[in-house]
Amino acid sequence: MKVGVLIAFAGRNCGGPEVYEREIARAMLAVAPQHEYHLYCLDSRGSTVIGLKSESVFYHQLQPQIRAAALLAGLPRAMARSRPDVFYAPILPPPFCPTKAIIAMPCSSLLHHPEFYPPLVRMRLRFFFHRAVRKAAKIICPSLQVRESLEERLKIPSDKLAVIHPGVSPVFHRIAEQEKRRHVEEIHGIRSPYFLFSGRWEARKNLVRTLKAFALFKRRYGSPHKLVLTGGHSWDSQEVAMLLEQPELRGSVANLGKTDTAELPYLYGAADALLYASLWEGFGLPIIEAMACGTPVITSNLAAMPETAGGAALLVDPYSEEDMAAAMGRITSDTNLRDELREHGFRRAKCFSWEKTAQQTLDLYLEIAS
């Protein structure tokens, strides 16, 4: 079978979407090397990020460099030349597709909270998605919550929707206590106990309330804990930057910026908990990444996050700074709770793998191509 895959985000250093594209491409080749894979890259760095070198893998650099034009014109031309049996667009679907297509709906936030996106981004996403969703042979949803949103909001038949969870990479694993503590101290200068926030600085990730809740926790408990931030900035980061300059947070928050994937297991593992009180997620990869590292998780009781956590995390109201601060207090004061969350989370993370994700996705390809 000849499989076409759109690589829309690899090379842009944009977190979850890039991780998804890289891991699904690698896992598909590992699971089914007998197929031929044609990867259509929007970014010139895409092939380097994917990093696959095989006689079964063919990279197609889309032209022109303007992304919208490459999707509208360059992608159909490249597909006409390579003639895949089935086409898959993780994250971002093309507006026109000359072959049977499977697309992914990574999150339902555009349907529930369009205000999270700048107007131009919102318009572009709506244009691409609403054209493609009607024509796609199948739509992959990362959670039951996303599938239900598509059924209810867009009236898409359930037999067109397949729930396939993302995986967790083997790079996320438990590290010996002394090793991870020494690493974060030597590499990042972090000596105090800390909570970790992993995500982009954007409204959906709820970092402003997370910071305010952390400040409330510090005032209430007098704890030596710090809050460590890892993740890139976005169009919505000015309020966060201003908040970090306030006296009650200055010195208590360590902003590491975007860190390499290889650093994340150390940062997750040495944290007392991951703070991931997002306002909306279609899955929430950091939840299972942290759990795979043996780290307790505090996450939201909204959207797909309870589904992803599977009863192995502390759930909070992400709109309540009081609720979030109280959860931090429970984590720091209750050793038994921390140990319980570590063990339950570690078992939960074992339910997810990119090999399973790839195999289920390939099964859909075969169904559509036949």
Residue 315, pLDDT score: 98
Give the pair of three-digit tokens for residue 42.
Answer: 């929007």
Tell me which residue has tokens 């990867």: 39
Helix (H) or strand (E) holding 38: strand 36-41
Task: Please compute, for residue 353, the number of CA atoms within 13 A of its CA located in the half-sphere on the CB side.
Answer: 12
Given a cut of 80, whether residue 72 has pLDDT beyond it is yes
Given a cut of 90, whether residue 105 has pLDDT beyond it is no
pLDDT classification of 127: cutoffs 50, 70, 90: confident
Conformational region of residue 162, where left means phi above 0, alpha means psi within -120 to 50, and beta covers everything else: beta
Could you tell me the residue ranges of all domains in the chain? 2-167+353-369, 177-349
Encoded amino acid at 188, one letter: H
Selected residue with higher pLDDT from 181 and 108 = 181
* Average pLDDT along the chain: 92
Fold match flag (2-167+353-369 vs 177-349): yes
Residue 22, pLDDT score: 93
CATH 3.40.50.2000 matches 2-167+353-369: yes
DSSP label at residue 206? T
Residue 282, pLDDT score: 95
CATH 3.40.50.2000 matches 177-349: yes
Give the pair of three-digit tokens for residue 330.
Answer: 């429970």
Mean pLDDT of 281-308: 97
DSSP label at residue 264? H
Given a cut of 80, whether residue 91 has pLDDT beyond it is no
Least confident range from 27-41, 75-89, 114-128, 150-164: namely: 114-128
Could you tell me if 202 and 294 are in contact, meaning their C-beta atoms sit under 8 angstroms apart? no
3-state DSSP assignment of residue 156: coil
Q: Among residues of the chain, what percentage have pLDDT more than 90?
A: 72
- How does pLDDT run across 4-20, given as a tens digit for each residue? 999 998 888 777 888 89
Given a cut of 90, whether residue 178 has pLDDT beyond it is yes
Given a cut of 90, whether residue 128 has pLDDT beyond it is no
Mean pLDDT of 288-298: 98
Residue 355, pLDDT score: 96
Q: Among residues of the chain, what percentage have pLDDT more than 70?
A: 98
**Of 275, 290, 293, 268, nearest in space to 188 by CA:** 268
Helical H runs in the chain?
16-31, 46-50, 67-69, 75-82, 109-112, 119-135, 144-154, 177-188, 207-221, 238-244, 264-270, 285-292, 305-309, 321-333, 335-349, 354-369
Radius of gyration of the chain (CA): 21
Given a cut of 80, whether residue 217 has pLDDT beyond it is yes
Tell me which residue has tokens 């982009």: 200
Residue 248, pLDDT score: 87
